[in-house]
Structure 1
Amino acid sequence: MESIKQSLKPVRALYGGTPAAEFGPKALKAVRAAMVEAGLCRKEVNKRVGRVKRMFRWGVAEELLPPDVRHALDAVEGLKRGRTTARETEPVRPAPDADVEAALTHLPAPVAAMVRLQRLTGMRPGETVQLRPRNVICEGDVWEYRPRQHKTLHHGKTRTVMIGPRGQAVLAPYLERPAGKPCFSPREAVAEVRGRRRALRSTPDSCGNRPGTNRKGCPEKAPGEAYTTATYRQAVYRACDAAGVPRWSPNQLRHSLGTQVRRTHGLEASQVTLGHSRADVTQIYAERDAALARRAMLEVG
């Protein structure tokens, strides 16, 4: 939802008073130019323009707009590399091991476990934050995690994350909760941080504000039940800043694991371990790929 709001922000700013049926290709190009001027990279501009198009496509499907609106907007092509002033992003690199280890010492236990688990399995940040005990099959030498939501679900693809012995050791304590509850809770992380602060408190409990008495009864931003990819990323950024190391993102942990698996078990094993759709071609390949991923994670994860 937040991504849709961000995509529509320049549309509302420039054409908030224009009837939707009158929003055409030139208006969409003006919105796109505003995104470029705001400093967004080329890929992000194309993503946001695509969301705007899908919004108008939905309006046509609901018979709120005439069909020619959709067709007109579809004529606007995405920005091409080398043919736009929009900046290009650098390729995503693996997170340096030394920087990850430094940040881990400043992370609360639930977030540190998420980082370690991602580092050992190569799962996506979105797959990590939604992990629940009921989605993990704890059988055999290698466990299987089947996320309910994943990147290629709308293409009819399935996703199975293999969890090896080292990953199992990280995850096991967090499976001792109700099956439908998130394994990693921001509430637990906040409670841990407050406990640390209390332990470092120099003023006796009998003096000044007693622990917890200066908290708002109804805070505007209370910790939620589960992390989002954004709050997970922000927690990592804060830890990097506290450790004095360059910021790295949770998604870089996938690249770290993928690089390691590719080096030790080959490109195909790396693709299936990370859940790339190109490795899931037919059922025969899927069976063979599962065996490859299982062997890789038994040794690596």
Structure 2
Amino acid sequence: MPRVVNRILSLRRHKASGRAYVQVDGRAHYLGKHGTREAAQAYERFVAEWLARDKRPAPVASGASVAEVIAAYMVHAIQYYRALTGEPTGEARNMADALGPVRRLYEATPAVEFGVRKLEAVRAVMVDSGLSREVVNSRVNRIRRAWRWAASQELVPAATVGELGMLAPLAKNRTTAPESRGVGPVSEDRMRAALPFMPAAVAAMVEFQFLTGCRVGEVLSMRAAEIDRSVEPWVYRPGRCKTDHHEDLRARMIPIGPKAAQVLEPFLAAAGEGFVFDPRESAGRRNVSQTYDRRSYRQAIVRACDRAPPHPELDAVPTSKRTEAQRRDLKAWRSRHRWSPLQLRHAAATRIRRLYGLEASQAVLGHAKMDVTQVYAERLDDLAKEIARATG
């Protein structure tokens, strides 16, 4: 009988907190520390009551703490925010970053008491940490999103969510939070100087982005099965298989010119039908995911940038012997010489716009294919392919 119950409602372990929980209708119910007798008893009691209610959810107690709401929401976020490939996106991590100061300040506070003044205090902590105005506003909106989900699960009253919405966003020139620096293109010289210090797969992804202007998520999730190599130039359709012949032409299409194809070729044979860029190839026996995520990709680029170019004086000084002033100078030097994956896409946009004009840049980057007719979409695809043949 217990085995039947287990198949009906499985007991799970929350990796971050080590707590036991069961999930019903997308909502997590926490039962204590996983592996303990108390958790096992709570599980048996929960299942018995759930079956007695004919598998209907129980009314939720209004006394959930802020920490419990955050833990429950993060279980949901990790499952919900996934790419077409099934791999987690970076949004769950973004949510964790946003909710971090909420938990630090108010973890034991009843979630129903987390109102606009407490949200304002959390925002002040974010501003004091040096985050830009845009990032602070974005994180506050993510906190509101988590509380809306909590209200939908009856963990907090709907009125609480309405109260959090009363906090106006930080306005430009009305806060001490700095403005975000504009993201410009990285030069080809700076990009190529860092390539020797990257794992082979990361270097190839960087070159592919620079040549094609594809988005970060598109290069990270690229599968060999999504690349049609029977045409010239090759065509990559993210999230689609090369045997799908009837897709909407307004869907994303990335032409792969001869230079970008040459970058991919060493990886395609090993990829089979799977992911083109596999971090396990450069990780040896380390237990890593079968795909890079945004964070690991960006970190690999940052590490390479810190070595190319080296500081003319301070890189030779052992870390333990650097003075505080030298550490600050080295940090500032490295910050000035770093660039991000987004700057690769900007570089492609700038290059193509300079050579072929705005419409061509929009066609290659996929900006011009929203709310257009099939005929116009096909013309944009043809334009993007011609540019790929010439430049990528």
TM range (shorter): 0.7 to 0.9
Counterpart-to-counterpart distance in 2, 1:71 and 1:283: 40
Distance 1:61 1:103, change over 3 A: same
Which residue in the other structure is 1:4 paired with?
Answer: 95
Which residue in the other structure is 1:205 paired with?
Answer: none
Which residue in the other structure is 2:289 paired with?
Answer: 224
| Equivalence map 1:259-278=2 (5 Å) | 259-276=350-367
Residue 183, structure 1, aligned to residue 276, structure 2: yes
Give the deviation of 1:87 after TM superposition.
0.9
Give the deviation of 1:255 after TM superposition.
0.7
Residue 283, structure 1, aligned to residue 373, structure 2: yes
| Equivalence map 1:121-270=2 (5 Å) | 121-148=212-239, 158-191=251-284, 222-244=287-309, 246-270=337-361
Q: Number of aligned pairs?
A: 265
Distance 1:106 1:178, change over 3 A: closer
Give the deviation of 1:247 after TM superposition.
1.4
Which residue in the other structure is 2:330 paired with?
Answer: none
What amino acid does structure 1 have at the position aligned with 2:104?
A
Percent of aligned pairs with the same amino acid = 43
149, 159, 167: which one aligns with 1:68: 159
What amino acid does structure 1 have at the position aligned with 2:264?
L
What amino acid does structure 1 have at the position aligned with 2:276?
C
Give the deviation of 1:66 after TM superposition.
1.8
Which residue in the other structure is 2:137 paired with?
Answer: 46
Counterpart-to-counterpart distance in 1, 2:186 and 2:269: 30
| Paired residues of 1:42 and 1:86 also in contact (CA < 8 A) | yes
| 1:136-188 C-alpha deviation (Å, 9 max, x unpaired) | 22232222222239xxxxxxx84222211211111122222354532112222
What amino acid does structure 2 have at the position aligned with 1:244?
P
Distance 1:50 1:101, change over 3 A: same
What amino acid does structure 1 have at the position aligned with 2:261?
Q
Distance 1:158 1:50, change over 3 A: farther
Distance 1:31 1:129, change over 3 A: same
Counterpart-to-counterpart distance in 2, 1:88 and 1:73: 24
Counterpart-to-counterpart distance in 1, 2:382 and 2:173: 42
Q: Which ranges in structure 1 are unaligned for 5 or more consecutive residues? A: 150-156, 192-218
CA RMSD of aligned residues (A): 2.1
| Equivalence map 1:32-111=2 (5 Å) | 32-111=123-202
Q: TM-score, normalised by structure 1?
A: 0.81
Give the deviation of 1:11 after TM superposition.
0.5
Counterpart-to-counterpart distance in 2, 1:234 and 1:165: 28
| 1:209-267 C-alpha deviation (Å, 9 max, x unpaired) | xxxxxxxxxx9x63432211111111111112222261111211101100011111111
Q: Secondary structure at the match of 1:280?
A: coil
| Paired residues of 1:133 and 1:177 also in contact (CA < 8 A) | no
Counterpart-to-counterpart distance in 1, 2:169 and 2:272: 43
Q: Which ranges in structure 2 are unaligned for 5 or more consecutive residues? A: 1-91, 241-249, 311-336
Larger radius of gyration: 2
Counterpart-to-counterpart distance in 2, 1:142 and 1:61: 48
